[in-house]
Amino acid sequence: MGVSLLFLALGGTLLFYGGDWLVDGIQRLAVEFRIPLVIVAFVVMGFGTSAPELFVAVQAMLSAAPDVAVGNVVGSNIANLLLVLALAALIKPLAIASDILRVDGGAMLLAALSFGVVAQDAVVSRADAATLLLGMAIYLLLRWHCLEDEENAETNGTKGLATAIGWCVAALIALPVGAYLFIDGAVGLAGSLGISEALIGLTAVAIGTSLPEMAACVAAALRRQPDLILGGILGSNVFNGTIVLGSAALVAPITVADSFIDYWIPIMVVASLVSLVFLRTGFVLSRKEASVMLVGYAVVFLL
């Protein structure tokens, strides 16, 4: 058990810092290449913070642990909304533009519903994976089409292209190593304690891989940048339900346990709906609504 805990801690640390380094590196690259900030918020940040989930899900399938792969995606999406988004709103109520809610919020809900549909036969096949990846490509094209013409991204004291590439390289080394250690530790801990891999995936793995989103969103809330928060969370959930799940299923078809079909995936869909409803009321996520979301996050694990 001691070795499993050590691997879990080391893996989680590498995932946390690796995701943070990747986001920082990509943001610096965006500045260097004068990419509009909105792209960083909706696409780059969303993908960067989903990188840990991607590495964990693929490594889980290589380790023949499908419950960890599915639990990682479902649990991470629930945590992103009911935990990470709520914590950011507690720091500072989040205002949201209607076009963000319509395009990115709609894409997040569609991704969650698509996950539920492809999982109904208890298997996410390679054909399902191809469909999910195609959906992600369509989303990116739509997002690009909806971008308004903006000024170039604001500079933030970037140290240059070499520094940006260095952060990305460091992240791309830390993330797969962290994923391997984290999965190995999670599966070993589940066996030692008699806990199901599904529960480990939904809790320890999901929250661990959501740490980059949490760190980025808390920092953005302190800097009063709601677009980065919403873009990161909504984009991350879309990536999780399409690229992350699809990539894992390309490695090997994913067997989906009944507990996910009957309970956890519906919870993910409900969490998506509730979050969008709260964001739609006045186009602000208030501290009161955020508190309800945090309570809901605790309740879903007690039922």
Which domains are assigned to the chain? 2-150+157-300 (1.20.1420.30)
Percent of the chain with pLDDT over 70: 83
- At 78-131, the pLDDT tens digits run 989 999 999 999 998 988 888 778 888 898 999 999 999 999 999 999 999 999
pLDDT at 155: 46
pLDDT at 151: 45
- Residue 157, pLDDT > 80, answer no
Q: Name the average pLDDT for the chain.
A: 81
pLDDT at 67: 87
**Rounded average pLDDT over 37-54:** 68
- 8 A C-beta contact, residue 69 and residue 210: no
pLDDT at 184: 77
pLDDT at 203: 66
**Rounded average pLDDT over 53-76:** 86
Please tell me the distance from the alpha carbon of residue 6 to that of residue 62, in angstroms, as a whole number. Answer: 21
- Residue 220, pLDDT > 60, answer yes
Q: Which residues pair with 124 in a beta bridge?
A: 254
Reported as a pLDDT band with limits 50, 70 and 90, residue 37 is: low
**Rounded average pLDDT over 34-55:** 68
Which residue is listed with tokens 């694990």? 301
Which residues 6+ apart lie within 8 Å of 183 measured at CB? 11, 56, 59, 60, 63, 65, 68, 205
pLDDT at 158: 45
Residue 236 or residue 296, greater confidence: 296
pLDDT at 39: 63
- Residue 248, pLDDT > 60, answer yes
Which residues 6+ apart lie within 8 Å of 103 measured at CB? 142, 143, 146
- The two three-digit tokens of residue 24, written as one number: 């920082």
